[in-house]
Amino acid sequence: MSDFLRSYLTVGIFGLIGVALVGVFLGLGKILRPNKPTLAKTEAYESGVEPTGDMWSQANIRYYVFALLFVMFDVEAVFIFPWATRLEAYGTFGLIEMAIFIFILLLGLLYAWRKGVLKWA
């Protein structure tokens, strides 16, 4: 067996031991503990408050706009990270380029702000 596969064997054995440990402890508990279910015990725990409603409730539509704005600006960071790793090498040229990039992004954010998208009410 090659060294490459042997190292995976170790991972496999560790995995098996892990699964076996969890199984043994949970199984022991199941055998040893008394079993008396009541309604209050099976209910979902919500900080002591009695749970109400369905768990598939619809999120408010307003979250969508915030989520969308977040995704946009979050993803644009993929261009900033590579630039940041080589900041010194790119020098002033890189700085100006990034300033232009961020200015255009900022226009979008300013637009959203002026149109009142960022207000909750």
Partner 1 sequence: MLALLAQEVDFVRPAIDWHAVAPELTLLAFGALVTVMDIVWLERGRRLTSSVASIALLVTMIPIVTLALDGEDRVMFGGAFVVDNYALVMKAMFLVAGYVVVLLSTNYVAEGDYWESEYYGLLLSSILGMVLMASARDLITVFVALELLSIPAYMLATWRKRDLKSNEAGLKYYLMGVFASAIMLYGMSLLYGGAGSTLLADINEAVSVDGSPSAIVVVGVIFVIIGFAFKVSAFPFHTWAPDTYEGAPTPVTAFLSVASKAAGFVALLNLLFVGFFGRDDVYEPLIWILAAASMTVGNLVALRQTNLVRMLAYSGVAQAGYMLAPLAVASDVGDAALTATVTYLLVYAAMNLGAFAIVLAVARKTRSAEIDSFKGLFGYAPGLTIAMSVFLFSLAGIPPLGGWWAKFRVMEAVIEAESASGVVLGVFVAVNSVIALYYYARIGLGMWAEDAPNGDTTPIRVPASLVSALAITAALTIAFGVYPPLVSEFDVTLLAGGLGG
Partner 2 sequence: MLLNQFLLLSAVLFCLGVYGVLARKNGMLVLMSVELILNAVNINLVAFGAFRADVGGSVFALFTIAVAAAEVGIGLAIVLLMYRNRRSIDLTQADLLKG
1 binds, among partner 1, partner 2, none (CB under 5 to 8 A by kind): none
Binding range to partner 2, per CB under 8 A, among 8-16, 18-26, 35-43, 77-85: 77-85
Q: DSSP 3-state assignment of 116?
A: coil
Q: Count other C-beta atoms under 10 Å from residue 57's C-beta.
A: 7
Q: Which residues bind partner 1 (CB under 8 A)?
A: 81-82, 85-86, 89-91, 93, 104, 107, 110-111, 114
Residue 46 pairs in a beta bridge with 49
Tokens of 72: 């946009």
Which of 59, 78, 89, 121 contacts partner 2 by CB under 8 A? 78
Q: Is 79 in the site for partner 2 (CB under 8 A)?
A: yes
SS (H, E, C) 36-90: CCCHHHHCCCECCECCCCCCCCCCCCHHHHHHHHHHHHHHHHHHHHHHHHCHHHH
String marking each residue 9-48 x if it binds partner 2 according to CB under 8 A: ----------------------------------------
Q: Which residues bind partner 2 (CB under 8 A)?
A: 61, 64, 68, 71-72, 75-76, 78-79, 82
